[in-house]
Copies of this chain bind each other. A is one copy, B any other.
Amino acid sequence: MTASFHGPPVEAATPNAAISALRANGLRVSAARRLVLEALYAADGPVSADDIAKGLNGRLPPSDLSSVYRNLETLEHVGLVDHVHLGHGPGLYAVAGPQRGWAVCETCERHIALEPQALEKLSAAVRRLIGFDARFSHFPIVGRCGDCLAEPAT
């Protein structure tokens, strides 16, 4: 069984920086691997393995889905990539970075990236209350957003 949770993030600002990080980890740089990275950097938010395999709707060349999964796993293991479950759909992948927290509204289904300061304060609250060093990067905070709270209930 593969581990559910991964190691510390490795920040790389560009695909090329990520490729250097791959080499530094003794990993080979193949066309397929390069493409996964390009897709992740080109996407404007977390994307599914399937999105990547389909070349982000044709913006990039398509690739084999199982290779995409294998590469995502490798990249995640190295710490270059993170994955989130924002709901019941497929897991979503993104380049690892300082922003590592999500909230999703169960009413409007919008998903919101948490601001670093909010994230830090939330973590502090969690540590104080339950003695936990919390991440909100793997599963989001689920609830009702401000806009939906203001509206008449459904």
Contacts and interface: CB of A to CB of B under 8 A. Distances in A.
Interface of A: 4-5, 85, 87-88, 103, 105-106, 109, 112, 114, 118, 121-122, 125-126, 129-146, 149
B126 A143 contact: yes
B132 A141 contact: yes
Contacts of A112: 130
Given A105-B132, A134-B142, A139-B139, 20 more contacts: A103-B130, A103-B132, A103-B134, A112-B130, A118-B129, A121-B129, A122-B125, A122-B126, A122-B130, A126-B141, A131-B146, A132-B143, A132-B146, A133-B144, A134-B141, A134-B143, A135-B142, A135-B143, A136-B142, A137-B142
The secondary-structure label for the interface of chain A is: mixed
Nearest to A88: B4
